[in-house]
Structures are given as structure tokens and as C-alpha cells.
Structure 1
Amino acid sequence: MNNFININKDAPIGFFDSGVGGLSVLKEAIKLLPRENFIYFGDSKNAPYGSKTVEEVRKLSFAAADYLLGKGVKALVVACNTATSAAIEDLRETYPQITIIGIEPALKPAVELGRKGKILIMATPVTLAESKFNNLMKSFEKTSEIVPVPCPGLAELIEAGKVEGKEVEFFLKDKLHQYMGINIASIVLGCTHYPFIKKELVSIFGSTVPIIDGSCGTAKHLRRMLLQNDLMSERTESGSVQIFNSLDSQKIIDLSYRLLNL
């Protein structure tokens, strides 16, 4: 695979996700790194990863990484919580010469808010079941009441372009009804698809409950690693964004650009 890798300051940064969700992370990266070129690969054909086995997620993650490395990316962002949980260590071991960044649920910033009440973590069943996530949760359980909330089916709704309206509202109320009316410290969005339905969550819980996701922290970590590895682009003009998808569908590409510009 090494012949695919082109460590070049002006090479693009690759992002991948099980579909359109990782665009929420890419949006933050574009704000922080406006001179970089980005290539985004959404694997909507195999979405969602959150309902697959860990081994299936690993295979799909390597296929996505190989696709982006074939396009000569200088760094790789796994913009998918499920893929990060299942495959990030294996990817780093296989490609030690490439900078690989993963995303994980933003539990630490939620705990650091120091608010009283339950911290709800909305995520896919695979993310919640993985040892990486459970170790993260255990590290904070002495000081905080952390409640995992599996949301099978939510990524599929967003993947279909449904980010607001009655169907999304009904889904969220069905999953979260037992937590409505009680003291919620914060809501952590443990899937990169979920920031796109933040507006609906605010309508249910109100604007006083902090809703936190890992996209901003991941973008900041990417910038730190580019600086550390002397990989920042030296261009003076704005960078570009190319979006690819495993589905042979203009509709999903159009949705991707629409979500990126929300």
C-alpha cells in the first residue's frame, strides 16, 4: 500500500464516514483550515456502520482508507465514531507513515461543564458496545452519571436527507421520552450524523441543555497534528472540497454539498 502514500504539504486531507455524517466534522475542519484541500468519501452504499459487526466495520474502514490513500491524501480523518471505535488502531498500525485522526464521543468536555444531572450519550449500538467507548465511559463514571442511549435507525433517517420535521421529531421523542422532564446535564452526540438533527433536539429539551459533539475537537486535533508533522499547506488561496460516495447517485452528492453548507 505504501506506493499510494504521497506525503506532500499541498496534498489533500482525506475524510471518510459511513455516509454523510462525517460532513459535520469536515465543516469544522474547513473553518479551521481554509487553505487546505479536502477529499470526502461517504460510504452510503454500506451505511450505517452502526448496525454491522465490528469485523464488517473494519473491512469497510480499510476499503475507504485505501480509496483515499489512492488519491494521494497526506492525512486521514476517520469521521465516523463507529469506524473509530472498531478500526482506528488497526489503521494506524497498517499505515504508520500517515497521520490518522479519529473521532470519539465528546464525553470529556461534557463532564468538564460540571453541570448537575444525567449526561446522555446518543450513539450507534456498535459504538456503545466497543471497549474503546466503555473505557472512556468508565474513566468518568465516578464523577458523573452517564447514560448511553442507543439510537439504531437515526443515521438512516439523516442519510435519507431527513434532518427535521415530524418523522425525526417522533423518532427522537420515542428514544428520549424517559429523559424528558428530568435534570439533564448535557447531551453528547456520539455519531457524526447526529449534529444535523441538533435543531430538533433543542426543540425537545430547550436551549439551556448543552448539546456537544466531537467535530470541533477533532478539527482542532487535526490542525495540531498537521503542525506537529510539518504538513500544513503553504498555499495562500482557499482550498477546495471534493466529495465522492460509494453510491452511484447524484442525489447523495447533492445532499452532501447541501449538508456541508447548512
Structure 2
Amino acid sequence: MSEAPIGVFDSGVGGTSIWKEIHKLLPRERTIYLADSKNAPYGEKSQQQILELSIKNTELLMEMGCKLIVVACNTATTNAILYLRTHYGLPFIGIEPAIKPAALNSISKVVGVLATKGTLSSSLFHSTTENHANGIKLIEQEGTGLVPLVESGNIDSKETETLLRKYIDPMLDQGMDHLVLGCTHYPYLVPVLQKIMPEGVKIIDSGEAVARQVKAILEKNAMLNTATSHKGHRFYTNIDPKVLRNFVSGVAPDIRVEKLDF
């Protein structure tokens, strides 16, 4: 299984922020990425719909021979990963908002969380906050409208900046010194966030931690790819592949981006 690919899926292009961290840490691993952009954003769907989409993506990646699956979507993780781990016989790595490091390092004891409705309303998110946010004022903000802007590649627009200011300014007014990004699309908004926030506010996402966890699980199961030859990366989207291609082109050798109906 060591030369089998790592599978990654998300509700669109956002999970490529996680994929980039995995590739940076594990450059010998080949990967298969599913961008389910046709059904984005997951965060506005019911838990049952999210579960069904996660099952569909999982079974497709298993058919493609993946040895491990990264659920590169906060909403899918919080709503479906327990089911996936119970019903399928391979390792799953999920994405959770990095509440713990933000809470531990906050000086003002005010932490903002920018996430989708599906993540903020999940039981897993609430248990995470209960375990790690004692003594912290946690400001939860739904990032409605942000995923479609990233999906369209419309990141540096006035519309994006205006929407982010609407969400971020009230958090800053309450003394926020750490902002947790609770959606894998949101790291692509960091340049705009840095533009509108004071330098002292730290932005935290889960990408590096997820990559380290992938490496740890592969090592534990003796599944690290030790081959010297590189067989490349395959990216599939169920809409026009142009935007996905823009997010990943030039990052690694042998990248293929194709449309696939799934």
C-alpha cells in the first residue's frame, strides 16, 4: 500500500490549501483530489446531505485505490467523519477549527472563529469548544458568501473585502487577538484579512497540523511512500476545471486536472 495515493476531498477548491501542506511535508506521496464544487458550499446543507456527499466522495476515492483519505473540509469532518471511520476500513484524517492553540495563546482571551454554518452548528465543534475554550470569549461568525467567492476565483475583489470587514470588524471591536479559520477555503483569504486587520491579530488555520497528522498515521501503519520515482497528482472536479487548475498549477510536477462527473 505504500505507493498507493493519498485521497483528499472537499466541497471545492478550498481543500487545496490542505493539499499544499501535505505535498510540502510529504513530496514523495502521490495524491488524488476530489473537488465537489457542484455541491459547494457544504456548510449550508443538512447533516444528512453532507453525510451522503461524504460517502459518495469516500467510495470514489476507495475505488481509485487510496490508502488514506483526508476529509479536507471542516463541515464534512464535523458532520460525517465519525460515520466514515466506523464504516470504512482505512484511515481518515479530518479538519477541525484550531480552537485549542488559539485559546492557549490568546492574551486578550477573545478568540474569533470564522466558519460555515454546518461547522458551527455541529456537535463535534461544540465539544471542541467545551474542551478547549474555558475562560475564553469565543466569537462565532458564519462566513456566508465567502466560499462562492473563493470558488469563483474572485478573492481580491472589493466584494470580498467588504464582506470580510462586515464579519471581522465586530470581532475586533470586542478585543479579538486570534482569528481561527474554520473552513479550508478561508486560508486563500489571508492576504485580504491581513490587509483589514491589525498586525497583532494572529490568524490560525489547520493545514500544517493536518499534514503532520497524515505523516504520523502513514508512519504508524508503515505506509509512507519510499519509492524514488514520482507518479504525479490527479485532481478531479465536477465543474469547469479552469479555477481548480489555477489553484494548483505549478505547485508540483506531474499535476493533472480533469473534469469528472461524480
> Does the pair score TM above 0.5?
yes
Alignment correspondent of 1:69: 62
Structure 2 residue 45 is the aligned partner of structure 1 residue 43: no
Alignment correspondent of 1:18: 11
Picking from 190, 199, 205, the partner of 1:213 is 205
Alignment correspondent of 1:159: 151
Alignment correspondent of 2:244: 253
1-side partners of 2:54 and 2:191: how far apart?
30
Picking from 100, 120, 139, the partner of 2:131 is 139
Matches within 5 A, 1:1-262: 8-95=1-88, 97-238=89-230, 240-247=232-239, 249-258=240-249
| One-letter identity of the residue aligned with 2:36 | D
Q: 1:134 to 1:89 in 2, by over 3 A?
A: same
Give the superposition deviation at 1:62. 0.5
Say whether the 8 Å CA contact 1:23–1:260 is kept in structure 2.
no
The percent identity for this pair of structures is 37
| 3-state secondary structure, aligned to 1:231 | coil
Moved more, 178-187 or 199-208: 178-187
Give ranges in structure 2 of 5+ residues lacking alignment.
253-262
| 3-state secondary structure, aligned to 2:177 | strand
2-side partners of 1:67 and 1:60: how far apart?
11
1-side partners of 2:167 and 2:28: how far apart?
40
| 3-state secondary structure, aligned to 1:234 | coil
Residues 170-224 of structure 1: per-residue CA shift (max 9 Å, x gap)? 1101222222344222000000000000011111113321100011111111100
Say whether the 8 Å CA contact 1:24–1:260 is kept in structure 2.
no
Give ranges in structure 1 of 5+ residues lacking alignment.
1-7
* Structure 1 vs Structure 2 CA RMSD: 1.6
Deviation beyond 3 Å, 4+ runs, structure 1: 258-261
1-side partners of 2:85 and 2:228: how far apart?
31
1-side partners of 2:185 and 2:101: how far apart?
19
Q: 1:190 to 1:52 in 2, by over 3 A?
A: same
Moved more, 76-85 or 182-191: 182-191
TM, length-normalised to structure 2: 0.92
2-side partners of 1:86 and 1:153: how far apart?
20
| 3-state secondary structure, aligned to 1:87 | helix
Give the superposition deviation at 1:153. 1.1
1-side partners of 2:235 and 2:76: how far apart?
19
Residues 212-245 of structure 1: per-residue CA shift (max 9 Å, x gap)? 0011111111100000011000112456221101
Q: How many residues align structurally?
A: 252
